[in-house]
Amino acid sequence: MNDKVQSSIQLTKGQRFPLTIKRLGINGEGVGYFKKKVVFVKGALPGEEVVVEVTKASQRFTEAKVRKLRKVSQERQDPPCPIYNECGGCQLQHMDYTATLRGKKDIVAQAFYRYTKLSEEKLPLNDTIGMDNPWFYRNKSQLQTRKTNGKVAAGLYKEGTHELIDLSECLVQHKELNAVTQVVKSILQDLSIPIYNEKKHNGQVRTIVTRVGFETGQVQLVLVTRTKELSKKELLIEQVRMKLPQVTSFMQNINHERTSLIFGEDTLHLDGEETINERLGEFAFDLSARAFFQLNPTQTVKLYNEAKKAAKLTGKENLIDAYCGVGTIGQWVGKNAKELRGMDTTKEAIADARKNAKQHGIHATYEVGTAEKWMPLWLKEGYKPDVVIVDPPRSGCDGKLLQSIVKARPKRVVYVSCNPSTLAKDIEQLMKKGYKIKNIQPVDMFPWTAQVESVTELTL
C-alpha cells in the first residue's frame, strides 16, 4: 500500500488495535503510530505493547485508551496517591521517577525537532535536573469550593469535566497547605457561609487559596469570593485567628465574573499582614496575594542558578528582566549586573519587586506594562541591554517582544520556559535573526506531572 493511501486511512471511535508506545507526549500520555497515524494513549508508557480502543478520532491525531497491557514497562509503578486516576492533577505517578526525568528531556527534544531545523547532533540538550525528594513540594494551593450533599468540599475538577474531586490530602502540596485547607473548610461549614454555585452564579466563597513560605513557615490564606460582602466576616476572622495561628496573612479577593480565572482585580485585607515573606538562598521576598512566585522553592534555586550561569554577568552589563513578576529571577541573576530593569503587567507584582530590590540593595527600575512597550522606550533613552531574561507564560513570548529583542540586539538572551513547544517556536524566530543556542537545561519543577521547565542560553 503506498504512503498516501496509508496515511489517509480514517480510524473510528471504538476501533481496537495493537500498538507499541514509542515515547511520552507533551501531556504525559503515551504516543504510538498506527498505519502512520499518531495515537495518544493516556496512562501508557514508552516501550509498552498495548491493545487500545479509539476514544476520539480526527484527521490529525487519534486518542485512545488502554484495553489490554501485553508488554508492561519495567518503569511502571503503582501510583501512591489514592485518587490519582480521578484527580488529574498529576499525570506520571504510574512511572518510575528517574524515568520521568528522561521522558521530560525527550519532550523538550521533540519540541525542538518539530519546530526548528535543529537535528539531534546539533541540539545542546542536557539531562533533566530532578528532585532528591519529589513529594510535598508545592508552596501554593488553589482549590475550588462546592457544596456537595450539604458539606463544603474543596478540590480540583476531574480532568475534562466540571465534577469536583474533594482533596483532603495531596502528596505534592506542602503538608501545611493540606492542613490549613481542611480547617478552613470546617470553619466555612460551621458558620454556614454561602459557598459559590457555578451553575446559578450565586453564593460567596469560590476558591480557597493558601500559600506557605517554605523557609519562614508563614501562611497566607486568600478567600476568593463572588461578592464583596462576606457573611459573618468578624466571626470568620476570629475563628481563623484562633484555629490557625500559622496564618499570618488573611486576604479576600473579589471575582464577580463567570470565568475560569481564579482572581479578580480587587483584594481586601482581612487580618494579619498584607504579605508573607519567603527566602530563597540569601534573598528574602515579600509576596502579596496575587503576586506570581515559583511554586517549587527547592527547584527554583536550581532553576535560577542555571539562569545565572547562562547570563554570565561580570558587573559591567545592563540587564532587562521581561515578565519580571516580584523580581525574583532578575534580582537573583542581576546582583552581578551594572543596572537591572524589569516590567510586568500586574501592578501589585511591580510594587513587590520595587520593595524587594530595595531590601536587597539592588539598583533596579521596575515599570508596570508590557516588555514590548518599555523596551523600545528604554532603547530610545539610551539604555541598551547586554542581557535579556525572559520568563513568559505558557503561551510564550509576545511577537512584539521578540521584535524588540531583535532590535535591541543584546549579546545574550536567557529564556526560562514552562512550555517546550512555545519555547522552540520562539527560539526558531530568534535563530533566524542571528542568535545561536549554546545550552538547554531542563529542570523538573513539577514532579509527577508532564510539565517541564528549562533554561536556554542564546548568544548573538
Measured distance CA(281)–CA(304) in Å, rounded? 11
- Single out the catalytic residue among 87, 90, 324, 418: 418
Q: Edge-to-edge strand order for the sheet containing 364-368?
A: 364-368, 339-344, 318-322, 387-390, 412-417, 453-459, 436-443
Residues in contact with 404: Cβ distance below 8 Å, sequence separation at least 6, in sequence order: 371, 372, 375, 376, 379
Active site residue 418: yes
Q: What is the dihedral of CA 203, 205, 206, 208, to 10 degrees?
A: -170
Closest CA to 206 of 232, 178, 184, 226: 226
Task: Outline where 255-370 has alpha helix (H).
Answer: 297-311, 328-334, 347-360
Q: Is 166 annotated as a binding residue?
A: no
Q: Is 294 annotated as a binding residue?
A: yes
C-alpha cell at 56: 476520539
C-alpha cell at 443: 529542570
The DSSP output letter for 8 is: T
Measured distance CA(222)–CA(87) in Å, rounded? 23
Q: Is 441 annotated as a binding residue?
A: no
Measured distance CA(450)–CA(31) in Å, rounded? 13
Q: Is 344 annotated as a binding residue?
A: yes
> Which residues make up each annotated binding site?
294, 323, 344, 391
- Positions marked active-site: 418
> Which residues make up each annotated binding site for S-adenosyl-L-methionine?
294, 323, 344, 391
